[in-house]
């Protein structure tokens, strides 16, 4: 299964669609399982990633495996054959059911080579970047905020991988990390409060204003700035995410000028903020020397990307992910026609019982066409669709009084401004006039 970017889908987005139980989540889980071996080998020489759980091996099979093929040229962009060869890494993770004889074996040699290449990079440059690797399962929206933080953590670059493949959003860690960096930011810079006060008092002088703004931006922590920027660019009207200590430890955000505790946000707002915040935090940790850590590399898997989102946000989410995190490769699943009709160069697969089918670009299609053509479902209630088509038949057959009765019946059940209803009324009226003339 090739993942975008491919020659005919030159974006970083692969979208999986398909019925309930088609196997979309299974594909994401398999990828997360494979990639966990890269993360563990980055941490330690012989580190073990997640095993394949026995219950996911096909019931009738005695073993199963996941094979992944990764291309990573470390930015060389070379067309030299030897360079291309050394940019490809292929590894297999296999599992045999207990007490059975299996047909699959693991081969983890090349994941070790890929991890070594990163380690070499880090030994020659302590500030080198690492790739973000994260999986956000459906159970991701837990805003677990600690009321007390007992001890201070030190956050190392590799800690950006903590729980990134098994838990999704780690909001507790997000909170602790944010607080710690904010403390350091406040110690080294001017506090927000003093800054606002100075701005109010002397902000009318343009020179002073400019100096103050400059001072403010240089004293801001670049990692926190990245997170704040990601959240406000995703969620219009939201800004100034911060940790507050009074009346008790909590995280607040300004929404259209009003300050709210993040726990007061709606489910959709919480889920988006937590997701974007988590990706941005991990990227910030992985790319310590980049001016804009949001431009860091990575592979991000998101199950049901449209979960909890209003249609307007469903439409935007893919393009916002791609523009906010331009170098991350996203593999997402969805049940929303709006998500796929917004993807310009995305690679869309329909997961079907007999395998994967690549779906042609649905960019610009209306939601009804996507529902009909790609998701194999009716654009409207099947019963109403049948009634409309029956009435049409009656009108065309000239059975005017029967059509009139059925139309009156339908009008009682659907909204009076329904466009099909208006069309039927018009057709019936025309037919009535015509038959009057004939008499």
Name residues contacting Mg ion, limited to 19-38 (CB under 5 A): 25
Q: State yes or no: cis peptide before 352, omega within 30 of 0.
A: no
- Of the residues 13, 15, 18, 274, which one makes contact with ligand ATP according to CB under 6 A: 18
- Of the residues 7, 44, 46, 55, which one makes contact with ligand ATP according to CB under 6 A: 55
Sole residue written with tokens 């430890």: 249
Q: Per-residue contact track with ligand ATP, 317 to 356, x per CB under 6 A?
A: ----------------------------------x-----
* Smallest distance from ligand ATP to CB 170, Å: 22
Inter-CA distances, 231 with 36, 211, 270, 382, Å: 27, 26, 11, 41
Binding to ligand ATP by residue 22, rule CB under 6 A? yes
State the CB neighbour count (10 A cutoff) for residue 349: 22
Binding to Mg ion by residue 219, rule CB under 5 A? no
Nearest residue to Mg ion by CB is 25
21 binds, among Mg ion, ligand ATP, none (CB under 5 to 8 A by kind): ligand ATP
What's the token pair of residue 71? 């291309």
> Closer to ligand ATP at the Cβ: 67 or 259?
67
What's the token pair of residue 162? 């903590």
Inter-CA distances, 290 with 218, 369, 388, Å: 15, 43, 60
- Of the residues 1, 25, 158, 379, which one makes contact with ligand ATP according to CB under 6 A: 25
Q: State yes or no: cis peptide before 5, omega within 30 of 0.
A: yes
Angle between helices 222-234 and 311-324 (to 10 degrees): 150
Contacts 24+ apart (CB under 8 A), 87-90: 89/113, 89/114
> Closer to Mg ion at the Cβ: 25 or 219?
25
State the CB neighbour count (10 A cutoff) for residue 98: 7
What's the token pair of residue 83? 């360079």
56 binds, among Mg ion, ligand ATP, none (CB under 5 to 8 A by kind): ligand ATP
How far apart CA 92 and CA 353 sit, in angstroms, is 24
φ/ψ of 128, rounded to 5, equals -65, 160
Binding to ligand ATP by residue 58, rule CB under 6 A? yes
* Smallest distance from ligand ATP to CB 142, Å: 19
> Closer to ligand ATP at the Cβ: 97 or 378?
97
- Residue-wise DSSP of 273-315: HHHHHHHHHHHHHH-TT-SSGGG--EEEEESSTTTT--HHHHH
Query: For 189, what's the count of Cα atoms within 13 Å in the CB-facing half-sphere?
Result: 21
- Of the residues 2, 8, 10, 21, which one makes contact with ligand ATP according to CB under 6 A: 21
Binding to ligand ATP by residue 59, rule CB under 6 A? yes
How far apart CA 291 and CA 226 sit, in angstroms, is 9
- Of the residues 6, 8, 10, 26, which one makes contact with ligand ATP according to CB under 6 A: 26
> Closer to ligand ATP at the Cβ: 75 or 99?
99
* Smallest distance from ligand ATP to CB 318, Å: 18
Number of residues that bind ligand ATP (CB under 6 A): 14
88 binds, among ligand ATP, Mg ion, none (CB under 5 to 8 A by kind): none
> Closer to ligand ATP at the Cβ: 28 or 235?
28
How far apart CA 408 and CA 237 sit, in angstroms, is 46
Stretch of 52-60, 107-115, 353-361, 386-394 contacting ligand ATP, by CB under 6 A: 52-60
Which residues form the interface with ligand ATP (CB under 6 A)? 18, 20-26, 55-59, 351
Which residues form the interface with Mg ion (CB under 5 A)? 25
């Amino acid at each position: 299964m090739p993942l975008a970017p491919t020659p005919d889908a030159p974006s970083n987005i692969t979208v999986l669609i398909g019925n309930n139980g088609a196997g979309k989540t299974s594909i994401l889980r398999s990828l997360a399982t494979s990639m966990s071996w890269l993360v563990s080998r980055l941490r330690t020489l012989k580190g073990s990633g997640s095993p394949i759980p026995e219950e996911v091996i096909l019931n009738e099979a005695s073993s199963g495996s996941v094979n992944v093929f990764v291309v990573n040229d470390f930015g060389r962009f070379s067309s030299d054959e030897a360079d291309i060869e050394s940019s490809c890494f292929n590894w297999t993770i296999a599992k045999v059911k207990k007490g059975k004889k299996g047909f699959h074996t693991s081969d983890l040699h090349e994941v070790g080579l890929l991890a070594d290449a990163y380690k070499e990079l880090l030994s020659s440059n302590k500030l080198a970047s690492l790739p973000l690797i994260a999986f956000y399962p459906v159970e991701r929206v837990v805003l677990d905020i600690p009321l007390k933080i007992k001890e201070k953590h030190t956050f190392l670059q590799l800690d950006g991988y903590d729980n990134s493949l098994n838990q999704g959003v780690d909001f507790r860690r997000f909170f602790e990390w944010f607080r710690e960096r904010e403390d350091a930011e406040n110690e080294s810079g001017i506090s927000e409060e003093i800054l606002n006060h100075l701005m109010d008092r002397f902000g009318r002088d343009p020179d002073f204003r400019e100096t103050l703004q400059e001072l403010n931006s240089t004293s801001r922590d670049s990692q926190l700035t990245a997170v704040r920027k990601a959240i406000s660019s995703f969620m219009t009207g939201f800004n100034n995410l911060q940790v507050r200590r009074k009346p008790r430890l909590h995280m607040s955000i300004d929404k259209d000028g009003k300050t709210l505790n993040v726990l007061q946000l709606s489910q959709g707002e919480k889920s988006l903020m937590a997701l974007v915040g988590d990706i941005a935090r991990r990227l910030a940790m992985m790319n310590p020397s980049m001016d804009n850590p949001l431009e860091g590399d990575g592979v991000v898997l998101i199950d049901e990307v449209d979960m909890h989102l209003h249609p307007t946000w469903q439409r935007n989410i893919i393009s916002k992910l791609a523009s906010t995190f331009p170098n991350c490769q996203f593999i997402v699943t969805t049940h929303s026609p709006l998500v796929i009709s917004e993807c310009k160069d995305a690679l869309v697969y329909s997961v079907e019982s007999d395998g994967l089918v690549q779906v042609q670009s649905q960019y610009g299609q209306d939601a009804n066409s996507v529902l009909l053509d790609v998701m194999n479902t009716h654009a409207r209630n099947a019963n109403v669709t049948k009634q409309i088509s029956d009435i049409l038949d009656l009108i065309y057959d000239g059975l005017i009084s029967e059509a009139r009765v059925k139309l009156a019946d339908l009008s009682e059940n659907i909204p009076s401004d329904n466009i099909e209803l208006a069309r039927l009324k018009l057709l019936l009226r025309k037919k009535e006039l015509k038959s009057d003339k004939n008499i």
